[in-house]
Amino acid sequence: MILSRDGFRRTAGHVALIAGASLLVCAASITIRGWIWQGRHADQFATAAKSAAGAARAIGDAPAPRPPRRGEALALLRAPRLGIETVVVEGTDPRSLSLGPGHLKGSALPGAPDNCVIAGHRDGPFGRLRAAEPGDILELSGRAGDVARYRVLSVEVVGQDDTRPLEPSGEPRLTLVTCYPFHVLGRASRRFVVRAARLDDRGAQELL
């Protein structure tokens, strides 16, 4: 008799305990790594915005834009009413998205006159998008301290294969994408899409 019934039960219990603890540790380290990354990069945008506000900004003065690299901090996304303030990473591969909401590679850069697509996990800050309503203000601050403001046009749920929200628009748009429904574990078959149009400074003044 190598193992009694009781011994087998306890061994299985120990295996399950260790496996469970390891999974929790993995989940925790992914989350903590995201926090560290967010904390490290949020300050950069704050100082960039401050220095840009202090210096008189000439339009032709801005340095030539350089295409961002995958996994690099791209912009700071703020939605004051929804309580979202998060650093956007370049790229929507799983590794990039584990750091924060990701900018779809190939879509327009923030503020550019085309469709800028940002996708995020629903368990991160983008989970708060469920409260988004048309008229909400979204702000994207770039590395150089430039700020682009957008107003939410529509909130909709589309199928997983419906890539129309991702296509170029020819107009300065911002499209935020996250999983739908919000509470299901694992893969989701639908996407929650928030579309916004850019406000020029005058438009923002009128609205506020």
Partner 1 sequence: MTTRDVRGRRRPLPVLLLLPLLGAPVSAMTLDDYGSPYTSAGEVQAAQKILQGDHYLKAGRYEAGRMDQGTINAVREFQRRHSIPDSGHLDRETVAQLVSHGSAVVADSRSGTGSVARANRGEGSTAAAPAGARGSEISRTTSGEGEPAPRSMPATAGPVPWMTALGAVLLGGGLLLARRRRV
Please report whether residue 44 would count as binding partner 1 according to CB under 8 A. yes
Single-letter residue type at 87: V
Contacts of 8 by beta carbon, 8 Å cutoff, 6+ apart: none
Please, what is the minimum distance in Å from the beta carbon of residue 151 to partner 1? 23
Cβ nearer to partner 1, comparing 61 with 206: 61
Single-letter residue type at 176: L
Q: For the chain, report the end-to-end CA distance as a whole number of angstroms.
A: 79
Stretch that binds partner 1, among 52-60, 101-109, 132-140, 199-207 (CB under 8 A): 101-109
Please report whether residue 121 would count as binding partner 1 according to CB under 8 A. yes
Tokens of 105: 């590679």
Report angle CA 31, 150, 87 to the nearest 5 degrees: 20
Among the listed residues 56, 61, 64, 161, the single contact to partner 1 using CB under 8 A = 161
Alpha-carbon distance 185 to 98, whole Å? 16
Residues of the shown chain interacting with partner 1 in the complex, contacts defined by CB under 8 A: 6, 9-10, 12-33, 36-37, 40, 44, 48, 66-67, 69, 71-73, 92, 94, 97-99, 102, 104-107, 117, 119-124, 126, 143, 160-163, 166-167, 177-179, 185-188, 191
